[in-house]
Amino acid sequence: MAIVKVKSIEDLGLPDKELMIWSRSKIYYKNGKYLKILNICDRLLSDGTNYNRLQVLEKLSELKGIKYLELPQNLYITDKEFLGYSMPICLGKPLDYLTEDISINKVIKMVMGLLEDIQKISAIGILNPDIWGGNVLFDKNNLYLIDFDNCIYFDDIDLAYKIMGMSLFNLIIDRMLDSYDLNWLNDIDINYIKERIDNLESTDYIAFINLLRLKIARKSQEKIETVGDMRRCLRNEKLWQ
């Protein structure tokens, strides 16, 4: 959106009580948006790390055509400090709450949507190394990525996409399988593709999910249409002995 210069943090008119306290920031609710206020140690623009953070977040805030990234909006600064920024409210839940009634096809669609936006980040030379369960939300229709404070400039566009894609992929697989180990399958095709993805040699994320569903369906002789179907088959230890 824009950099907004103010005289001091008092000009932001923050509510008396914060909504959330994180390790390096506080979140406030104001006028239908969140305000993320950085800790004092992360504000001084004379510090190169803080200045670079402002530059990266400004670049992200200017991205167009984004659907699934809850990017910073107005960035608030003084002459010497980067105070924080406003951001839209995302009503999704953490992926830990991924329910068993969600179809595999819906998961694939959600992943593809978020990957498209992640590719737009890498295309402008930025890497988000902070893709984990607390920063990826879902609302049964879409996945959303939040919290971009740790984003950095990254010259290798292809590698940046693979790093972020691999992080999202492993998170999704872990939540779909509900902590069941892929080694249970003992399948050479599954292991080969997974290894290539983890080694940043492949972006076959969707192909892997489809192959995983196919392998489990063949082994169980059942239709695998939902996350619950997949987990139920994995719970049947007799299939994997």
pLDDT given for residue 140 in this prediction: 78
pLDDT given for residue 181 in this prediction: 66
Alpha carbons within 13 A on the beta-carbon side of 153: 10
Residue 80 vs residues 6, 9, 77, 126, 231: alpha-carbon distances, Å: 11, 12, 7, 25, 53
Give the CA angle between residues 13, 14, 15 to the nearest 5°.
120
Whether 132 and 77 map to the same domain: the answer is no
The β-bridge relationship of strands 143-145 and 136-138 is antiparallel
Residues spanned by the domain of 175: 93-240
pLDDT given for residue 240 in this prediction: 65
Whether 70 and 103 map to the same domain: the answer is no
Whether 81 and 151 map to the same domain: the answer is no
pTM listed for this prediction:
0.93
Chunked into runs of 10 residues, the chain (241 residues) has average pLDDT values of 91 92 91 94 96 96 94 96 94 87 96 98 97 91 94 97 98 86 78 95 98 92 94 78 63
Whether 207 and 176 map to the same domain: the answer is yes
Whether 141 and 155 map to the same domain: the answer is yes
What's the token pair of residue 30? Answer: 């104001």
Whether 9 and 48 map to the same domain: the answer is yes
Whether 171 and 204 map to the same domain: the answer is yes
pLDDT given for residue 241 in this prediction: 63
Q: Are 196 and 202 in contact (CB under 8 A)?
A: yes
CATH number at residue 16: 3.30.200
* Domains of the chain: total: 2
